[in-house]
Structure 1
Amino acid sequence: MTAPSKATHPAPRRILIVRLSALGDIVMASGLITALKTLYPHAELSWVCEAGCVPLLKHNPRLKQVIVWPRGEWQSLLKAKRYVALWRAIRAFRAQLRAEQFDLVLDGQGLLKSGLIAWLTGAPRRVSIIAREGSHRLVHEVATPTPGADPVMGSEYRYLAHYLGAPVGSFVHDLAVGAEPQARARSVLQAARLAARADDANAPAARPLVVLAPFTTRPQKHWVESNWTELAQALIEHGLQPVVLGGPADREAAERICQGLPQLINLAGQLKLDESVALIADAQLLIGVDTGLTHMGSALRVPTVALFGSTRPYLQGPAARTRILYDALPCSPCRRRPTCNGAFTCMKQLTVERVLQAGLGQLALSQPQAEPSA
């Protein structure tokens, strides 16, 4: 394990975190905000990321600003072979970064693209985690955690905070809920509840909210689609209100899951990203696969059940409120290279009953305990 940095450095005044994507990784890296504010309470913190990830960060009062990396513009110019315009765009972005006069830049992605952005700042101290694709040449220091040494969510980013000297316990995931997104999420949910009650006059007015997050980018990370319908039915029978959450691309699959079950609320594609964060923050339980929404539940300390198989981003949540269902098969985690020819046994053997009981158990942990009678 790489030792914490022993060199003496002046306390930075302006710090930039470079973590460009993806949603789940930004959620897991958000603990750097609290760790850095503990270590350097007077420093200004900024974050650079892709446009699609901005809503996760823009409501956080502990960040001075969120800088957008114009990846789409650069790619369009490159595709159109407009090399002079691309060079000008890169120079303009470099000027924007250097005008901030960052003292410390943390590359939390460790790739060539993130290392390049760190290098463009010209900061006198640039620290990367792991550093792949030759990005170590673009920074001054590399912090390399031992794989598997820390099983808790966000381990590599917590190690980076430790490397800098942040106190133990200062790394706490930090997702801020915006007031407007919260109001909008609650309004949409209330309208959906009313519609569900219209279809079922016997439905309670305010069932405890359970968010289901079935969707992710790779088929080997999915749970069996029909299982979600069966699970939702069981949750309803236990007096809970399941809600399917996802993005616009998930609408068709969400409709299949909700078909024939009018009490199951389908909000896939109806909420913006920061509104989804707000909805999750209001939930009493979240059940999901390895996707950004599931990691948000854990980061927000919502009772969460995470279904892992081909991937295993962590074995423990940041608190007991997260429970990981993962079976260590000989072939898992296979990540991006499944060897099962589409069998996906690692996910299929997670039965509905097992997931249901895990969810009810997590829900019970969050309930206030009755005082013993005298």
Structure 2
Amino acid sequence: MTKPKHILVIRLSAMGDVAMTVPVLRTLTQTYPEVKITILSRPFFKPLFDGIPNLDFLEADVNGRHKRLGLLKLAKEAKALGIDAVADLHNVIRSKIISKYLELKGINVASIDKGREEKKDLVSAEGKNISQLKTTHQRYADVFEKLGFPLDLSKPQFAARQRLAPKLTALIGVEPKKLVGIAPFAAHDSKMYPLDLMEKVIAQLDASEKYRILLFGGGKKEISQLNKLSKLFANVSNTAGKLNFEEELSLISNLDLMLSMDSGNGHLAAIYGIPVITLWGVTHPYAGFAPFNQPEKNQLIANREEFPLIPTSIYGNKFPKGYEEAIRTISPETVLSKIKEVLF
């Protein structure tokens, strides 16, 4: 079989999952510079792929002109670009419709194996020993291997640190302090470190005068909470609601460390090779969603002896009564100790 020369890569959402494609696509273009890539995703995510050589972006307006039968129009747009293979990294109804149309036109399609049965077994362990499943990054890489492009993710090259605009340097300040990003929110409360505990972490960091702390989040409620939190401390700034996505990525690329939940911001920091400490509640890094190239020791996990059913689900949307705040078993002292270990 002739190797493809132009691959359409489909990953429509969510932000963390789209961000996880970035180090894989960087490796792909570095390993096979002769291959052209077109990434099909939502317009908002376009800045994630800036700087990747030989890569173009095709916007998917899935709630507008590409809704329902508009997906076929999108598939035709992709075909008109001269693609000769499809890497479906999403494998949902929308991506399957696009892929099937292109397959019927004679274009080779490879789709991700999400490992649903393995993940089902993981959340059914009920306190038994569990082991690391294949990472999502490797599952993405496996799709390209099916197309004839095996990838080695063990020696990545990361996106470059971006030059900060004056607006962002004002947020950071002029004092030579370690820049710590903190993203305290997640899609589900069961994955979120309680704000009263996070406030204790921030208070200790602030009191040491060694750190400049930048808070990340989005949505009116989160912005309001982070504004209140930032006003309590001299060395804390809230970025939420003040930056566009490009500016946020630029700021993240200059961090010394990101403290995140099992959520998108950790994956954004990992694109730039920034150390990420992740706090896990009812989910678990063994499901394969830890930020790219981050060591296991940076994954702080709720106490499975006290809450043996963890992971209760892959995405944190399901958990038994009493598990709502399992993440409280990660003490502020443990978080602070890990921050100091990573930075000094």
Q: In which range does the TM-score fall when normalised by the shorter chain?
A: 0.7 to 0.9
Identical columns (%): 19
CA distance in 2, matches of 1:337, 1:321: 24
CA distance in 2, matches of 1:144, 1:246: 30
Q: Does 1:244 align with 2:215?
A: yes
The change in CA–CA distance for 1:207 and 1:97 in structure 2 (over 3 A counts) is same
Q: Which residue in the other structure is 1:352 paired with?
A: 332
Q: Does 1:114 align with 2:108?
A: no
Q: Does 1:330 align with 2:334?
A: no
Deviation at 1:263, TM superposition (A): 2.5
Deviation at 1:354, TM superposition (A): 0.3
TM-score, L = length of structure 1 = 0.76
2:74 and 2:98 in contact (8 A); partners too: no
The change in CA–CA distance for 1:330 and 1:260 in structure 2 (over 3 A counts) is same
Q: Which residue in the other structure is 1:93 paired with?
A: 74
Deviation at 1:43, TM superposition (A): 1.4
Q: Which residue in the other structure is 2:16 paired with?
A: 24
CA distance in 2, matches of 1:267, 1:206: 19
Q: Which residue in the other structure is 1:268 paired with?
A: 240
RMSD: 2.9
1:223 and 1:348 in contact (8 A); partners too: yes
CA distance in 2, matches of 1:264, 1:91: 48
1:145 and 1:159 in contact (8 A); partners too: no
2:71 and 2:98 in contact (8 A); partners too: no
Deviation at 1:336, TM superposition (A): 1.4
Matches within 5 A, 1:1-374: 9-38=1-30, 40-57=32-49, 59-74=50-65, 87=69, 89-121=70-102, 122=105, 124-130=107-113, 150=133, 152=135, 154-167=137-150, 169-170=152-153, 176=159, 182-184=163-165, 187-194=166-173, 205-238=175-208, 239-249=210-220, 250-313=222-285, 314=288, 317-320=292-295, 323-327=298-302, 328=304, 329-334=307-312, 335-341=316-322, 343-345=324-326, 347-364=327-344
Deviation at 1:55, TM superposition (A): 2.3
Any idea what SS the aligned residue of 1:275 has? helix
CA distance in 2, matches of 1:336, 1:15: 34
Deviation at 1:33, TM superposition (A): 1.2
Q: Which structure would you say has the larger RCO, counting Cα contacts within 8 Å and 6 or more residues apart?
A: 2
Any idea what SS the aligned residue of 1:211 has? strand
The change in CA–CA distance for 1:27 and 1:123 in structure 2 (over 3 A counts) is farther
Deviation at 1:126, TM superposition (A): 0.3
The change in CA–CA distance for 1:212 and 1:320 in structure 2 (over 3 A counts) is same
Gaps of at least 5 residues in structure 1 are 1-8, 78-85, 132-142, 195-203, 365-374
CA distance in 2, matches of 1:236, 1:28: 31
CA distance in 2, matches of 1:29, 1:171: 15
Deviation at 1:149, TM superposition (A): 5.5
1:173 and 1:299 in contact (8 A); partners too: no
CA distance in 2, matches of 1:297, 1:156: 20
Count of residue pairs brought into register by the alignment? 320
CA distance in 2, matches of 1:243, 1:361: 19
Q: Which residue in the other structure is 1:200 paired with?
A: none
1:39 and 1:167 in contact (8 A); partners too: no
CA distance in 1, matches of 2:338, 2:279: 11
